[in-house]
Amino acid sequence: MPEDELGRFCRRHRIRSLALFGSVSRDDFGAESDVGVLVEFEPEGVIWEVSEAMDRIVVNPRVHFGKPCVAGTRITVQNVLELLDEGLAFQEIIQDYYPALTVEDIRACVRYAIALVAAEDIHLAAVPA
């Protein structure tokens, strides 16, 4: 990964320092090697919200092509957010659409979306008048 791309990744995820260790730093590194990673996050930011949401939100490439889903279900974060966008209350979503969900699952979907937007890099270009 190019250094500037790695820098953008670290800034987007509020990573203060990132270190790799183990065989990744040796000549014998290969496809079967383990990679040791040490990450230090910035003290401010949305890290606690992300980790709390990640207990309830999972990404599995075999489920909905890797779209984030509520853990233990095949219900995508997108589906839940779209229902919220339609103006449905949490209880309506649970009662009428997804009885397997809890209020905390729905809150985790919202926190997950907020964390993604907070971590997003936006590049603006000047437009001639």
Instruction: Say whether pTM exceeds 0.75.
Output: no
What mean pLDDT comes out for the span 11-34? 77
Phi then psi for 33, rounded to 5 degrees?
A: -75, 150
Q: 128 is written with which tokens? A: 């001639």
Of 5-9, 58-62, 103-107, 114-118, highest mean pLDDT: 103-107
Mean per-residue pLDDT over the chain, rounded: 82
d(CA 22, CA 34): 7
What mean pLDDT comes out for the span 89-115? 94
Higher pLDDT, 3 or 81: 81
Phi then psi for 74, rounded to 5 degrees?
A: -110, 20
Q: Which fold has domain 49-119?
A: Arc Repressor Mutant, subunit A (1.10.10)
Question: Domain residue spans in the chain?
Answer: 3-44, 49-119
d(CA 56, CA 79): 15
